[in-house]
Structure 1
Amino acid sequence: MNFYIALLHYPVLNKNNEIIVTSVVVHDIHDISRAAKTFGVRK
């Protein structure tokens, strides 16, 4: 069985309340790895 995990930031709004694109930063990698560890996701 395949299991996929993703980290989504949606919607991200700018100061004009418009949906914009965001980027992945180091904190995001830590967040997703912590979630994977918590739920037992392995290679």
Structure 2
Amino acid sequence: MHNSMIFTNFVVQLQYCKEIINLFIMNHSWYLTLKVNQDINQ
């Protein structure tokens, strides 16, 4: 019982980390795209 709770907690945290990493990558690539577009326009 106790072990399965720890495991569930671990999975939830892993999922949470994945979401944050995905968000970070999306924001980062968006920023890079913006920067490249600005460079081209100048």
TM-score grouping bracket, smaller chain normalisation: 0.3 to 0.5
TM-score (norm 1): 0.37
TM-score (norm 2): 0.38
- The answer to which structure has the higher helix fraction is 2
